[in-house]
Structure 1
Amino acid sequence: MRIDIITCLPDLFEGPLTQSIVKRSMDKGLVELEIHNLRDYSTNKHQNVDDYAFGGGAGMVLMIEPIDKCITGLKEKRDYDEVIYLTPDGETYNQSIANQLSLKENFIFLCGHYKGVDQRVRDHLVTKEISIGDYVLSGGELAAMVLADSLIRLVPGVLNDETSALSDSFQDNLLAPPVYTRPAEYKGWKIPEILTSGHEAKIEAWRNEQALKRTEERRPDLLG
């Protein structure tokens, strides 16, 4: 998988995308991730990438020309499956979308900022718009990090135990069941006896039961 992220704040990505699973995936050669500074594609000496909106109104808007130059330059080097714009009014992201996208290989993520991007970017250059929730961030950078992390962990070979991702919350529209580890008793708080029974079928049945119970209590909407 290759992910190219277009942003006017590239330094924001230095920490989150150079640690943990994301870093290991790149070290293994399973994922390529590149950050592109939108200001490098500015057409003036001050490296401006935003301007006032036609018709007036508060806030600045990212201009179409530097975005188009960046996306066009990237597309000259390879084909992309999706050009994704991170925006609060996009399709609300969930595990099902993550699973579908993880089957693809090459992505461009465009991070919005200020009041967003010139609408012509959305009309002609973007193939998919995604929101990570019904709230507004200062920019699309944090959303891009969330999207990248959720996709990268689904790439075969990234997780040491590939079955781990299959048991995550929201797979099969269920929340994950409770999990426990050593010690089996702490301050008088004991783990369920079934987990130390060694009976795999009964343990799996208990986990399914607990996943359904937790989903019914916390997210009944997932059960339709």
Structure 2
Amino acid sequence: MAEPSGRRAAPRPSRPPPESRPMSADEIRHDVWRGRIAGELHPTARALNDSLPFDRRLWPEELALTRAYAASLIESGVMTAADAQALEQACDALAAGLESGAVKLAGEDVHSAVEAELARRCGEPARRLHTGRSRNDQVATLMRMRVMSLCEEAVEDLRALERALPPSPCCSPTRGSRTSRPSSATRSASSQPARPPTACRSAPAPWPAPRSTTIALRSPRGSASAGSPPTAWTPWAIATSRSST
């Protein structure tokens, strides 16, 4: 847009260039947000920003994601095989230290904390992990991996519960019995809802019976005015107390 004749735009105030100095290891680990900000975060803002106390438990998935992404960087030519091997050794050493408790993560979140520990062990190969991915990609993939891991643990727990429960009589096949071919009557009744065998229903449960609550019941032969009529859930008329008007 052309400026009006006779007017000249006011010069903008010049901003001081950002301080050019190498960042210390403490700043790389703790202050990932640091760019043009020379000061420190307010304690309230830092408490809101830091998530390491919550996502520290995700370090196994973080290391697994690092190993997988390093393989893709080798295929794209960004990382050499020697750098990937150094990164793999750093991941193994960090995993051993975290499992034994010899290493304590420090930083804003598990992503920056693990990266700082890997960079301290292998240097440049760990810094190349940012190539081609954003923090949002990293977080989304990490959460999917965590959910998959929790689902596998839940399935294993259910299988362990099945093995711990005693077998039901209806589920124990009789020795020497042969499976007979279903008759026409059985095939015609296939559309009927399946019911558990009597043996299953009469077998005692392997866990304590819950404490049942009792309600006052009245025989259906009694007066209907003394209680509510039978319902679809029970043939008994449930005795109710009516307030006097």
Greater fraction of residues in strand: 1
TM-score (norm 2): 0.21
- Computing the radius of gyration from Cα coordinates, the structure with the larger value is 2
TM-score (norm 1): 0.22
Structure with higher RCO (Cα < 8 A, 6+ apart): 1
Greater fraction of residues in helix: 2
